[in-house]
Amino acid sequence: MFDQYKYRNELLKKYLLIGFVTSVLLSPIYYKMGINYLAISLNIFSVLMVYLFINSKKANKYIYNSRFFMITISILFIIGFLDGNQEINSMVFVLLYPIASFSIRGPKEGILWSIVLLSIFISIFTLFLLPYNKYSFLFFCVAYLMVSYLLYFYRYYEIMTFKSINEELENIVKERTKELEISNKKLEKLASTDVLTKLLNRGKLNDFLESEINRASRFNHIFGVIIMDIDHFKSTNDIYGHNVGDKVLEEFATILKTKTRVTDIVGRWGGEEFVIICPQTDIEGIKKLAEELRYIIENNSFSIVGNKTASFGITLYCEGDTIKSLISRADKALYRAKEEGRNKVVVL
């Protein structure tokens, strides 16, 4: 986004450079004209320009530098104005003052600097009756005010444009950030979800198992694991084909998603195997859930293939268990259920 203060600081550097060059060129002329105090003022001014230019390299010094510049150039113009031996047309450089004030201090402060300097000029002209032609001075004041008026609105609309551009850029950034967040969520979901069944995949199940093991070992919580395997699933693929087999897997996943509890964590372990993690549940609660699922599956009519059954292996977390030992024990229970005729729930 556009940083208007950085932009103003760059403008300030240009004014400092112009001020230095101008004062160096004009001071010899004023010495030759015999106006020594003005020539000396220009010499001092050139030194101050060098100081401010070096100081302007520090971004945090911008406000101090810009206001110090406005003060020094104001004093210089007032000294020049007090020289009543010059014609008013020699004050044409003063018309640069509003340009400098508005460009480096902005419209609000710029109009203040411009009005204050003109007020000082008018006061000096009135009090000291300087030998300027009063009509020429009046024309100068009108020109000065016109320049200030035009610059004020130019800078005002310029800043409004900057703000509009910034707001537009901020909105674009917000939209892009929102799109990125949505994309990241989709990617995260894809990375943790089984493509076919839309259940959690094995990697994400491992993450949950590790989390539950850590909670159980630290806070003495209980939890259990169910491994479910579809009986004779290979024959389903062999007889009906893999497309029908995939449809059966999707329907099994729907049953598991809709018939388990909100706190249960359901995922596809691989092939026709599914895992259910049951936090804060004792062995009786887990067994009851497995029996309910077994019953629902046994009495469900699956597309094309009709009735299917599933076998279940159950185990509870024991102190010192790892993911490998926990799943291995549940697997043994599942194989025992298969050996005992399938469509059974076995606890180990």
Task: Tell me, rounded to whole angstroms, the distance of Cα 315 from its chain centroid.
Answer: 46
C-beta separation of 27 from 46 below 8 A = yes
Domain ranges of the chain: 4-169, 202-347
Catalytic residue numbers? 272
What does the alpha-carbon distance between residue 330 and residue 111 come to, in Å, rounded to a whole number? 82
First to last CA, the chain: 63
- Summarised one tens digit per residue, pLDDT across range 37-95 is 889 999 999 999 999 999 888 767 888 899 999 999 999 888 888 876 656 556 777 88
**Residue-wise pLDDT tens for the chain (348 aa)?**
445 667 788 888 888 998 899 899 989 988 888 888 889 999 999 999 999 999 888 767 888 899 999 999 999 888 888 876 656 556 777 888 898 888 888 888 888 999 999 999 999 888 887 777 788 888 888 888 888 888 888 877 777 777 788 788 888 888 888 878 777 777 666 667 888 888 999 888 999 999 999 988 888 889 999 999 999 998 898 899 989 999 999 999 999 999 998 899 999 998 899 999 999 989 999 999 999 999 999 999 998 999 999 999 999 999 889 999 999 999 999 999 999 999 999 998
Looking at residue 244, what DSSP letter applies?
Answer: H
The pTM score is: 0.51
- Looking at the domain that runs over 202-347, which CATH code has it been given? 3.30.70.270
Give residue 4's pLDDT: 60
Looking at residue 131, what DSSP letter applies?
Answer: S
Q: How many CB atoms lie within 10 A of CB 274?
A: 28
Show Cβ contacts of residue 205 under 8 Å, excluding neighbours closer than 6 positions.
Answer: 265, 267, 269, 275, 277
Q: What is the rounded average pLDDT for all residues in the chain?
A: 87
Residue with tokens 């406000």: 63
What does the alpha-carbon distance between residue 199 and residue 274 come to, in Å, rounded to a whole number? 9
Cα 62 to Cα 15, 20, 109, 137: the distances in Å are: 13, 18, 14, 34
